[in-house]
Chain A
Amino acid sequence: MRYAMVIDTLKCVGCSDCVVACQTENDVPIGFCRDWITETVNGSYPNLDLELKSERCNHCDNAPCVRCCPTGASHITDGGIVLVTADECIGCGACIESCPYDARYQHPDGYVDKCTFCHHRLEKGQLPACVSVCPTKCMYFGDLDNPQSEVSQLLKNRKHKTLAPEAGTNPHVFYLI
């Protein structure tokens, strides 16, 4: 089992529904986000190219945050999901410094928080909150180890990229381009 998220940048309209769904589902404190939208314009006038995408923790295989955590609070659980155990976290901030995606933040209660791929929903057989609300259905979620899964098929058939592959983290959020 290896969970992965695939996001179609050609279908994303940047509505921020995923952001709001996450904040509601996970009770994210005001002023923080576990996921966010970026908007990039490439090219030179008049040949411009707009790319919208929803970003979050990349649940890396080679996760720098897990490597540098002094207590083992940051760990990789079943399906390759990177999680933080709140009552093992001392709030030292090492994982925040180590993340090339700046995906982590210090929760006002002190521990470090971030996207969990909605681990609690997956256990009930539901999709992550962001994926389940996307109005353009540009987000896909599934098991990469299963060659028949929707995500495996999309990555097989479509051009895609990951964020900052040069950081050597082997991220598991993929963007179709």
Chain B
Amino acid sequence: MQEELFTSGRNIPHIDPYLQIWHWPISLYLFLGGIAAGILFFAALFYVLGKENEYPAAVKFAAIIPPIALSIGLLALVYDLTHKLYTWRLYTTFRIESPMSWGAWVLLIVTPLSILWLFSYYAEIYPKTEEKLQLLKKFKFLATFEQFLKTNRIYIAYALIPLTLVLGVYTGILLSAFNARPLWNNAILGPLFLTSGLSTGAASIILMAKTTKEKHLFGKIDLGLIIIELALIVHMIMGYYAGSQVQLEAMQLLVGGDFTLMFFGFVVLLGLIVPATLELIELIGYKVPVIVPAMLVILGGLIFRFVMVEAGQLTRFLY
């Protein structure tokens, strides 16, 4: 039998033995981008449906999270660039084949929209702060601008629905576009990251919700999203299993290697199955503090990003 006995090969101290170019800021950003996309999607959706006052946490109160999450995420992204002074180059061109170019442009639109969305509700959700600062009274143009935003909120909502979906999918496509990293190179990663982002978004809304009605609705939404996410994870594993040698080896990292405990223990079990069970128990009528499943979902989403980014970089083409 022909077998390869050894390959000595490259010994380039700063590149080998394996690639690690993307570090924690990328994982953190993918998580924050997903959660922001999730919250903004629900905010815009429920506003368009006219349920603004029925579900105030989703539309109004949770709106504080996306601008903060996106700002931290963007700082993390820029921090991870090595040629930072040239960051503006992203915005001198649009490259249709590059997911990162799509992401950069979508972020350039979604981030200001998320701030405008929050500002249009500022006086309503933070009346005490407004009383103290008197921003809208002192500065006439701010009051005029707020009025303008309030009357045009529906257009922001219409823009946000497709844009947040693109943002959510892009966090996955960013990784899946690389055929050189077999763990990432599967088409399910885009929908999977979108679902995970929507699920962590719904969990954040549960944390901010004050009425049982809203908590229950988002508990149900989250439960549905978790079930979809589990199905997509099964599909992802099946895809590797039916794939080529490089994908089989990539799968080993998740099902029988260094990332098995992290993936199945912390992401699948503690981040998806346990919170889904708790949410189900709560829906049946037992009392479960909602903070537990919601925090588990959020932490699971964060760990999922770390596992995928770190593990993906260990996989490579064989030749």
Task: Give the interface of A toward B (CB within 8 A).
Answer: 31-33, 36-44, 48, 55, 64, 67-73, 86-94, 96-102, 105-106, 109-111, 163-164, 166-168
Known A71-B93, A163-B319; contact A44-B21, beta-carbon cutoff 8 A? no
Inter-subunit contact A100/B317 (CB<8 Å): yes
Inter-subunit contact A64/B179 (CB<8 Å): yes
**B177 partner residues in chain A, CB cutoff 8 A:** 67-68, 98
Inter-subunit contact A44/B83 (CB<8 Å): no
B181 CB within 8 Å of chain A:
yes
- Alpha-carbon distance between A129 and B318 when the two chains are bound, in angstroms: 28
Inter-subunit contact A90/B81 (CB<8 Å): yes
Inter-subunit contact B19/A110 (CB<8 Å): no
Name 5 extra pairs, CB < 8 A, besides A40-B4, A71-B90, A102-B180.
A42-B5, A90-B81, A111-B82, A111-B86, A167-B180
Cβ of B311 to closest chain A Cβ, rounded Å: 13
Known A32-B14, A167-B179; contact A91-B90, beta-carbon cutoff 8 A? no
Q: List 16 A-B contacts (CB under 8 A).
A: A36-B12, A38-B7, A41-B6, A70-B101, A70-B103, A71-B92, A71-B101, A72-B93, A73-B89, A92-B100, A97-B178, A98-B178, A100-B316, A101-B319, A163-B319, A167-B317
Inter-subunit contact B86/A90 (CB<8 Å): yes
Inter-subunit contact B97/A68 (CB<8 Å): yes
**B71 partner residues in chain A, CB cutoff 8 A:** none
Considering only residues 268-319 of chain B, those with a C-beta below 8 Å from chain A are 313, 316-319
B1 CB within 8 Å of chain A:
yes
B239 CB within 8 Å of chain A:
no
- Alpha-carbon distance between A48 and B5 when the two chains are bound, in angstroms: 9
- Alpha-carbon distance between A147 and B178 when the two chains are bound, in angstroms: 34
Inter-subunit contact B89/A71 (CB<8 Å): yes
Closest chain A residue to B174, Cβ basis:
A94
**B100 partner residues in chain A, CB cutoff 8 A:** 68, 70, 92, 94
Inter-subunit contact A97/B181 (CB<8 Å): yes
- Alpha-carbon distance between A99 and B13 when the two chains are bound, in angstroms: 18
Among B8, B11, B13, B180, which residue has its beta carbon within 8 angstroms of that of A100? B180
Inter-subunit contact A93/B22 (CB<8 Å): yes
- Alpha-carbon distance between A90 and B82 when the two chains are bound, in angstroms: 7
Among B3, B12, B98, which residue has its beta carbon within 8 angstroms of that of A42? B3
Inter-subunit contact A68/B99 (CB<8 Å): yes
Instruction: Please report the total number of B residues contacting A with Cβ < 8 Å.
Output: 48
Closest chain B residue to A93, Cβ basis:
B21
Among B6, B86, B89, which residue has its beta carbon within 8 angstroms of that of A40? B6
Cβ of B25 to closest chain A Cβ, rounded Å: 11
Known A68-B100, A72-B95, A91-B81; contact A36-B180, beta-carbon cutoff 8 A? no
Among B6, B12, B80, which residue has its beta carbon within 8 angstroms of that of A31? B12
Known A68-B100, A71-B92; contact A38-B8, beta-carbon cutoff 8 A? yes
Inter-subunit contact B9/A36 (CB<8 Å): yes
- Alpha-carbon distance between A24 and B14 when the two chains are bound, in angstroms: 18
9 A-B pairs with least C-beta separation: A91-B82, A91-B83, A110-B83, A38-B9, A70-B100, A93-B21, A70-B101, A164-B319, A100-B317
Among B3, B4, B244, which residue has its beta carbon within 8 angstroms of that of A166? B244
Inter-subunit contact A70/B21 (CB<8 Å): no
Known A68-B99, A111-B82, A166-B244; contact A96-B8, beta-carbon cutoff 8 A? no
**A89 partner residues in chain B, CB cutoff 8 A:** 83, 86, 89
Cβ of B287 to closest chain A Cβ, rounded Å: 47
Inter-subunit contact A44/B90 (CB<8 Å): no
Inter-subunit contact A70/B317 (CB<8 Å): no
Cβ of B33 to closest chain A Cβ, rounded Å: 15
**A33 partner residues in chain B, CB cutoff 8 A:** 10, 12, 15
**A86 partner residues in chain B, CB cutoff 8 A:** 83
Considering only residues 90-113 of chain B, those with a C-beta below 8 Å from chain A are 90, 92-93, 95, 97-101, 103-104
Among B82, B181, B318, which residue has its beta carbon within 8 angstroms of that of A106? B82
